[in-house]
Structures are given as structure tokens and as C-alpha cells.
């Protein structure tokens, strides 16, 4: 796979992706790239063009398919970024931004659930069962 191609995204994003690839020591020669027809909405355009990008990385047995944009070059960039995210989650989970975001969302949901339980929990029964004489 050639990363020096123009991806139709900002040069800063490409530079950041290259830095992550270098840091994780991903061998791009092992990445198998194929273009397939996508699915979903789009009608004739979807049926005639192969702008869905599929990347395979056999050393870690990862497969990524991306068809978010209409341009194949943008889909290639997004697929490579997704592949690097998944590699980072396996190789170095403590530095993975995606895992940190998932953890942040998990904590936020836990706080919301606790607030809801506190707010809507049934009142505890009192010990006053009536007059005792």
C-alpha cells in the first residue's frame, strides 16, 4: 500500500497518520488492499462503482471495510486510519485514543445511571409500622 498518494484530506491529518504508523511499526507492505462495490443507499452510482475500500492486515488477522464517502481516495485514508486504530488497540491499549474515548463514555453513562437511580429510586420504607402500645 502506498501512503504517499494524495488522499484529498488535510496534510496535517496525513502527517499524523504517518507518525502513528511509524510509532506502531506497521509494515504497510503487508496490507492487502482491494476495492469492492459497496452497499446501501446510492442506487445506480453504488451499483456501478467500486469505491468501498477493504484492507486486510494478515499478521494480526484484521479486516477493515470503509464506504463513508463518495471518493475512493478519502475512503482509502479512512480505512487506513481505522486499521491503525485497531492495531493500536491490540498492540498498545494504554495509548489508544479510541479506547480512552470508550472509557470516557462508559464513565459518563455510569454517572448518568447513578443519578437516575438516586432521583427515581423508591423511598426506603420507614421503621414506623404504627403505634406500639
For the chain, the C-alpha Rg in angstroms (whole number) is: 24
Of residues 100, 76, 77, 98, the one with CA closest to residue 87: 98
pLDDT for 128: 64
Residue 103 lies in a domain: no
Residue 120 lies in a domain: no
Q: Consecutive 10-residue runs of the chain (133 residues): their mean pLDDT?
A: 79 91 91 89 80 93 91 92 90 80 89 85 66 60
Range of the domain at 74: 11-92
Residue 55 CB coordination number (10 Å): 21
pLDDT for 126: 62
pLDDT for 77: 94
Residue 29 lies in a domain: yes
Angle among Cα 27, 78, 102 to the nearest 5 degrees reads 95
pLDDT for 130: 58
Domain count, the chain: 1
Residue 74 maps to which CATH number? 3.30.160.20
pLDDT for 114: 86
pLDDT for 79: 95
pLDDT for 125: 66
Contacts of 67 (CB under 8 A, 6+ apart): 38, 39, 40, 51, 52, 53, 75
Residue 112 lies in a domain: no
Residue 107 lies in a domain: no
pLDDT for 76: 93
pLDDT for 34: 94
Residue 72 lies in a domain: yes
Amino acid at each position: 500500500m502506498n501512503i504517499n498518494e494524495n488522499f484529498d484530506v488535510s496534510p496535517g491529518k496525513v502527517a499524523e497518520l504517518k507518525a502513528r504508523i511509524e510509532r506502531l511499526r506497521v509494515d504497510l507492505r503487508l496490507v492487502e488492499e482491494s476495492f469492492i462495490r459497496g452497499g446501501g443507499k446510492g442506487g445506480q452510482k453504488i451499483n456501478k462503482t467500486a469505491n468501498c475500500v477493504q484492507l486486510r492486515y494478515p499478521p494480526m488477522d484484521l479486516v477493515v471495510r470503509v464506504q463513508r464517502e463518495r471518493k475512493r481516495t478519502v475512503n482509502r485514508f479512512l480505512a487506513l486510519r481505522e486499521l491503525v486504530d485497531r492495531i493500536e488497540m491490540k498492540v498498545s491499549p494504554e495509548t489508544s485514543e479510541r479506547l480512552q474515548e470508550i472509557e470516557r463514555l462508559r464513565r459518563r453513562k455510569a454517572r448518568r445511571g447513578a443519578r437516575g437511580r438516586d432521583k427515581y429510586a423508591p423511598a426506603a420504607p420507614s421503621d414506623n409500622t404504627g403505634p406500639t402500645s
